Amino acid sequence: MENKHLPYMLLLPATIFLCVFFIYPFTLVAWEAFSKDGAFTMEHFQTMTSNWKFEISFWNTLLLAAAVVPIQLALSLLMATMVSKMQKGRDIVLYIWTIPLGISDLAAGIIWLAIFDQSGYLNSMLYGLGVIDQPENFLSYQNKSTIFIAIVLAEIWRATAIMLVILVAGIGLIPKEYYEAAEVFGASNWKRFTKITLPMLKPSLQTALVLRVILAFEVFAVVAALGGTNFPVLMGETYNWQFELQDGNVAAAYALVILAISIVFTLVILRVLRVPKGAQV
Amino acid sequence: MREKLKLLKTTALALSVIACASMAKADVLFWSTQAKPVEETQAMRDQVLAGAGQEVDYQASDGGPWLTRLQAELTAGDGTIGVLGGLHGNFTSLPDDLVDLSALGLKPTFSDLGMLGTSEQKYIPWMQATYVMAANKKALEYLPDGADVNALTYDQLIEWSKNMAEATGSPKFGFPAGPKGLKHRFFQGYLYPSYTDSVVRKFASPEAEVAWEKFKELWSYTNPGSTNFSFMQEQLLNEDVWVAFDHTARLADAFNQRPDDFIAFPAPAGPTGRGFMPVIAGVAVPKTAPDMDAAKELVAYMLKPETQIATLRATSFFPVVDVELPDDMPAAVKIAGDAIAKMSASPDANPGLLPAGLGDQGGKFNQVFTDTFERIVLAGQPVKDVLADQKTILAKIMNDTGAPCWAPDAPSEGACPVE
């Protein structure tokens, strides 16, 4: 009797927590997005989509995720394999690589702003080397592409470590026997990586990608610091509608759009990287 | 280990003592959108509120969080905020939530604005400022022939900026178009009144098209970094720009640090006069104030002449009551004060009022002008199409709020029409 109920009892606190702090606020937000004076309406979504910045911020957000996530995936795989091969000093290297994780994203944005700013480090360096005659404004509205590159760099610097940590843990879980067998058959390093590490790493890759992609759609502070209003993204618009324009309904509509694309991409990743039941370790 | 434990215990003890102390004292919470920069906040606490005769906890925040906390307290019907400080626009959505302060008998300038269209004194004007132009003295030699810096026109400003750009190789005019910059006030209070003698009615008129074309021309000689500038004193001090437009409080550092290098002068004039806009900040008491008497006492204290002078030193906002300014005022006060006097006294002065009656749509009203700027000037979209498009948004805001016209627009019956 007791044993039968125990698992549910143990799940109860987490379930209540989720209901109170996630499901309930979520329904409130959804209702705010779809209602006006207590009646159902699509007006807020129409306001949102007819705003000239909606389309720009939508594509900017997707473009940013498309540029940042693949680079981070490749980098974190490379870094994770390097770390796991190390005999000495592994912990120290891992600590150093994960330092950016401990820095808030706004602080990260400001660090990179100090580099790219008109009177920033990059300009001082180029000027000092005699490459430019006077400080270049890399982050002006005329240089949308450099703003984009700066944001991509800052995001890579800031958030690659979160994937790295997950992948390092995942690589540690792969049984050594596979590698030993591969070595016996004379498989090259690259072969071992593609035939053993990658397939065995699928569950970790799944987690890392889902987490990272969702975070990429929520990008805000780094963009705000480096791009200001020159590079609108969905989260920035949400903030703007909530606090500057004092329209919580449209802000809620934006929040739902972010949620929707997050769900879609999560499902895609889960499907593409699924591990068949029979193949699980 | 034992050392660590001891340290932990002491810290815990200290923390609980602090917690008890702050709970025991019922400070008046002064919740404000003004004097946000850390130095100003500190100056408000040390130089202005220290003499209030009661403990005051001065907290400054952005308009969004400011309103969110206030609304939460109002909804709960139980609050901790004693006194509110904010711009006229911060209060326009709150008339039902503020107590009547007319019994205090304070009547500074612009008191009528503080009634927010009701019969009660919802807020009392606290301090005032406006926007002026500032220039590095190096810029003066490039002034167009025959131009008087104290009576400039927009055409002369464009020519001046062009001269500077051509002579120095880089644009030297600066404009606060950054995310926190006050660009919308320039369009509402300066550009539109100077070219159309209107803000709302003639938003999309042929005169407005001319205004935007002129501004585009000026923009071509403007430092492109302007879209990141929010406080022009920074760019004036590091000489990224030589001539700039901004709020007096956002130019003060430049005048104070190098009073001999910078001058202030009136905003330029257009075909319909020299448009300019005063900024009014006020103090109010929310209905949920925990200690009504203490809050009202603090409001009265803020309006005393000595307090007003101390506030001027702390924030560079000018008094709203008659005061005799002492001789040792900061350079910014003298320099900017002189320019404001010249601007108000100029024969073609065309003062406009702050947007009124927009309620919680004030942010959207500003956004109409910001979006128009971003689309026409930054994105290069056709002036006529953008104005026609933004006009519908503006008309909807005016109809939804029913806000009547304010100066320089001619008075209206009901909502101010966009013609």
Q: Are residues A33 and A165 both part of a single domain?
A: no
Shortest distance, CA A224 to any CA of chain B (angstroms)? 9
Look at residue A232 in the predicted model and tell me its pLDDT: 92
Query: Residue A230 is part of a domain; what is its CATH number?
Result: 1.10.3720.10
What is the three-class DSSP state of B42? Answer: helix
Q: Which residues contact A231 (CB under 8 A, 6 or more apart)?
A: A60, A144, A147, A148, A151, A223
User: Does residue A142 sit at the B interface (CB-CB below 8 Å)?
Assistant: yes
Return the closest-CA partner of residue B199 out of B355, B84, B324.
B355
- Is the preceding peptide bond at B286 cis, omega within 30 degrees of 0? no
Check if B27-128+279-334 and B130-278+340-401 are the same fold.
yes
Q: Phi/psi of residue B246, each to 5°? A: -170, 175
Instruction: Look at residue A167 and tell me if it is in a domain.
Output: yes
SS3 for chain A, per residue? Answer: CHHHHHHHHHHHHHHHHHHHHHHHHHHHHHHHHHEECCEECCHHHHHHHHCHHHHHHHHHHHHHHHHHHHHHHHHHHHHHHHHHHCCCCHHHHHHHHCHHHHCCHHHHHHHHHHHHCCCCHHHHHHHHCCCCCCCCCCCCCCCHHHHHHHHHHHHHHHHHHHHHHHHHHHHHHCCHHHHHHHHHCCCCHHHHHHHHHHHHCHHHHHHHHHHHHHHHHCCCHHHHHHHHHHCCCHHHHHHHHHHHCCCHHHHHHHHHHHHHHHHHHHHHHHHHCCCCHHHCC
The CA radius of gyration of chain B, in Å to the nearest whole number, is 23
> What sections of B169-291 are H helices per DSSP?
183-186, 192-196, 206-219, 232-237, 252-257
| B35 backbone dihedrals φ, ψ, rounded to 5° | 55, 50
Q: Does B371 touch chain A (CB under 8 A)?
A: yes
Contact B289, B81 (CB under 8 A): yes
Q: Packing angle between helix A52-85 and helix A202-217, nearest 10 degrees?
A: 150
Residues 173-212 of A with CB under 8 A from B: none
Candidates 1.10.730.10, 1.10.8.350, 3.40.50.970, 3.40.190.10; CATH matching B130-278+340-401? 3.40.190.10
Answer yes or no: is A186 within a domain: yes
List pLDDT tens digits, range A43-53: 999 999 998 89
DSSP B405: P
| Contact with chain B for residue A106, Cβ under 8 A | no
Question: How many angstroms separate the CA atoms of A256 and A262, rounded?
Answer: 10
How many Å lie between the alpha carbon of B309 and the closest alpha carbon of chain A? 32
Contact call for A140 and B225, based on CB within 8 A: yes
Q: Is A228 on the interface with B (CB under 8 A)?
A: yes
B-chain residue closest to A244, CA distance: B363
Q: What average pLDDT is seen over chain A?
A: 90
**The pTM is what?**
0.78
Q: Which residues of chain B have pLDDT under 70?
A: 1-25
Whole-number Å distance between alpha carbons of B144 and B156: 7
Minimum Cα–Cα distance from A134: chain B residue: B170
Question: What confidence score (pLDDT) does residue A279 get?
Answer: 64
Alpha-carbon distance A142 to A153, whole Å?
19
Query: Residue B125 forms beta bridges with which residues?
Result: B282
The owner of tokens 């700013």 is: A117
Closest CA to B100 of B285, B294, B321: B285
Based on the fold, state whether residues A172 and A241 are members of the same structural domain.
yes
| A181 and A239 fall within a common domain | yes
Mutate to test the interface with B, among A47, A118, A226 (most CBs of B within 10 A): A118
Is there a contact between B375 and A134 if contact means CB atoms under 8 Å apart? no
CA distance B240 to B32: 32
Q: Do both A166 and A225 map to the same domain?
A: yes
Question: Could you tell me the residue range of the domain that residue A9 belongs to?
Answer: 1-41
- In this structure, what DSSP letter does residue B375 have? I
Write the pLDDT tens digit of every residue in B173-187. Answer: 999 998 889 999 999
CB contacts < 8 A, A to B, total 55
Whether A90 and A214 share a structural domain: yes
Query: Which class is B27-128+279-334 in CATH?
Result: alpha beta
Test mutation, B228, B231, B391, chain A, max A CBs within 10 A = B228
pLDDT at res. B86: 94
Q: How many domains does chain A have?
A: 2
Q: Write out the DSSP string of B163-194.
A: HHHHHHSS--EE---STTS-HHHHIIIIIHHH
Return the bridge partners of B246, or none.
B132
Q: Tokens in use for B53?
A: 């005769």
Strand partners, B173: B222, B243
Cβ atoms of B92 and B357 within 8 Å: the answer is yes
Evaluated on CA atoms B394, B398, B404, B406, the torsion sign reads negative
Contact of A226 with chain B, judged by CB distance below 8 Å, is answered with no
Question: Which residues in chain A touch residue B362, judged by CB atoms under 8 angstroms apart?
Answer: 246
pLDDT in tens, A197-254: 999 999 999 999 999 999 999 999 999 988 878 899 999 999 999 888 888 999 999 9
Question: Measured between CB atoms, which of B63, B227, B371 is closest to A140?
Answer: B227
Residue A132 lies in a domain: no
Same domain, A62 and A34: no
B363 has a chain A CB within 8 A of its CB? yes
- For A52, half-sphere exposure in the C-beta direction (CA atoms, 13 angstrom radius) is 16
Greatest CA separation for chain B: 81
Cα separation, B317 vs B312, in Å, equals 5
- A133 burial (CB, 10 Å; 0-12 / 13-18 / 19+) is exposed
What are the φ/ψ torsions at residue B323 (nearest 5 degrees)?
Answer: -135, 155
- A159 vs chain B: nearest CA distance in angstroms? 25
Q: Which of A216, A104, A207 is nearest to A152 (CA)?
A: A216
Identify whether residues A36 and A156 lie together within a single domain.
no
pLDDT of residue B21: 44
What residue segments make up the domains of chain B, in order of their start? Answer: 27-128+279-334, 130-278+340-401
The per-residue pLDDT for range A78-130, each reduced to its tens digit, is 999 999 888 888 889 999 999 988 888 899 999 999 998 877 899 899 999 98
Determine, yes or no, domain membership for A135: no
Which three-class secondary structure state does DSSP give residue B52?
Answer: coil
Given this model, what pLDDT does residue B24 score? Answer: 43
How far is B395 from B200, CA to CA, in rounded Å?
9
**Torsion angle of the four alpha carbons B124, B127, B128, B129, in this order, in degrees rounded to the nearest 10:** -150
Residue A185 shares a structural domain with residue A273: yes
Tokens of B185: 């006030």
Q: How far is CA A161 from the centre of its chain?
A: 11
Could you tell me the CA-to-CA distances from A69 to A72, A156, A164, A187 in Å, in that order?
Answer: 5, 8, 12, 30
Q: How far is B225 from chain A (nearest CA, A)?
A: 5
For residues B321 and B305, the answer to whether their CB atoms sit within 8 Å is yes
Q: List the single residue in B170, B178, B363 with the smallest CB-CB distance to A245.
A: B363
The distance of Cα B394 from the centroid of its chain, to the nearest Å, equals 21
* Chain B contact set for A47 (CB, 8 A): none
**pLDDT reported for residue B18:** 47
Residue A156 lies in a domain: yes
Residues A68 and A36 in one domain: no
Residues A88, A36 share a domain: no
Is B361 within 8 Å of chain A by CB? Answer: yes
The pLDDT score that the predictor gives to residue B410 is 87
Instruction: Give the closest-approach CA distance of B180 to chain A in angstroms.
Output: 9
Q: Which of A70-74, A191-195, A227-231 has the lowest mean pLDDT?
A: A227-231
For residues A4 and A64, membership in a common domain is answered with no
Please judge whether B178 and A140 are an interchain contact, meaning their C-beta atoms are less than 8 angstroms apart: no
Whether the CB of A118 is below 8 Å from some CB of chain B: the reply is: yes
Reply yes or no on whether the pLDDT at A134 is more than 50. yes
CB-based contact B89:B34 (threshold 8 Å): no
Place of tokens 């002008």: B369
Residue A134 lies in a domain: no
Closest residue in A to B365 (Cα) is A245
The residue type at A73: L
Nearest CA-CA distance, residue A262 and chain B, Å: 27
Say whether both A92 and A216 belong to one domain.
Answer: yes
